[in-house]
Amino acid sequence: MRHGNYQGRHLKTAPPSTRIRKKGGSRRAGKHHFLSDLLLVFAGALLGAALRVLITHFCDLVQYSFYGWDWTYLFINVIGAFAFGLLVSLFKVRFPSKEKKWYVFVSESAAASFTAFDLVFSQISLLFLRPNIVVLIFYVAVNFAACIVFSSLGVFLGSGKKPAGIKRSGSRHELSSERGKTRLPGPRHGY
Amino acid sequence: MWIDVLVVVTSAFGTALRFCQDRFFKGFKNSRSASIFAASLISCLVCGILNAMIFLLETSPVLKEVICAGFLCGYSSFAVLGTAAALLTKRKKGWEKSIFYSLSAFILSLCFYFIGFFGILVLH
């Protein structure tokens, strides 16, 4: 039989006021964490964009242009895509326990703002003045394909694993190959 | 010189905006690839509108430099798009999803660019 002023074991160890304070505190800490991440992203993006502007000034490949293509942007995009893929897979897949701040600073912001997506489309408007629509589409397609190939190369070099489509032997890998059937979640890299 | 500084600063603002959008999508759909896809479409649309305005109204190229080479290049990125496509291969067990994602990004980005570009031309 319980006593009249019985409060329960959980209430003795953690009173309600403390719990409420803890919740508010974690929310405030989350907000603080987000703001610090945002500042890191801003600083890293400044670095990446400055690097891009410097390369555009000093590495002028317009003299080798073909139908007015700017090879400098392709060069920047390929390097940035490879670096971003490599960094993301290193931080998220191979070494997920590493410091998150470095991931945010280097890959989320610096490598991402380094590449020039819309400058490629701006080239289209210059090319548009010439009536060759095939060259126009081909220019963007080359940029897209090169970036996807190089970022995939970076991802697969950085993760150091075989692609998930290849079946591997061993009890540990058998579980991952059954992922689709048993509805288990994939790797938690956020994409 | 000052244009370059403006480009760098606006690019940083664009990247910060995409970071916030990624966080929102992560909480909303638990998927960053959708956020990256949306960012590339939006930036293509804005880029098309801007290029048409420059072509028609002969606005200052500084505006194009600052918005297109700065803000929009920070907001959307080939590297992020390519990596999202590559990581989809690992996540969804197959390169078909990845190829579908990148092809649809390419085709829709071009479509959105031309919608913006020709939309302004027609409206003018």
pLDDT digits (tens, 9 = 90+) for A136-159: 778 888 888 888 888 888 888 887
Report the complex ipTM. 0.84
Q: Look at residue A173 in the predicted model and tell me its pLDDT.
A: 47
Interface of B with A in 78-107 (CB under 8 A): 78-95, 98, 102, 105-106
Measure CA B33 to chain center: 13
Tokens matching residue A82: 């490879």
A152:B11 CB<8 A: no
The DSSP output letter for A69 is -
A32-71 confidence digits (pLDDT tens): 777 888 888 888 888 888 988 888 888 776 666 666 677 8
Inter-CA distances, B60 with A70, A153, B50, B56, Å:
21, 40, 11, 11
* pLDDT of amino acid B35: 83
Q: Which of B36, B72, B77 to mutate: most A Cβ within 10 Å?
A: B77
User: Which pLDDT belongs to residue A108?
Assistant: 75
Closest chain B C-alpha to A55 CA, distance in angstroms: 12
A8-28 pLDDT, tens digit each: 444 445 455 544 555 556 666
What pLDDT, on a 0 to 100 scale, did the predictor assign at position A112?
Answer: 79
Please tell me which residue of chain A has the smallest CA distance to B47: A118
Q: Which chain A residue lies closest to B84 (C-alpha atoms)?
A: A191
* Calpha distance B38→B40 (Å, rounded): 5
Segment of A42-51, A122-131, B32-41 carrying the highest mean pLDDT: A42-51
**Are B16 and A141 inside 8 Å of each other by CB?**
no
* Residue whose token pair is 């139908």: A67
> Percent of chain B having pLDDT more than 70?
91
Tokens of B27: 């909480």
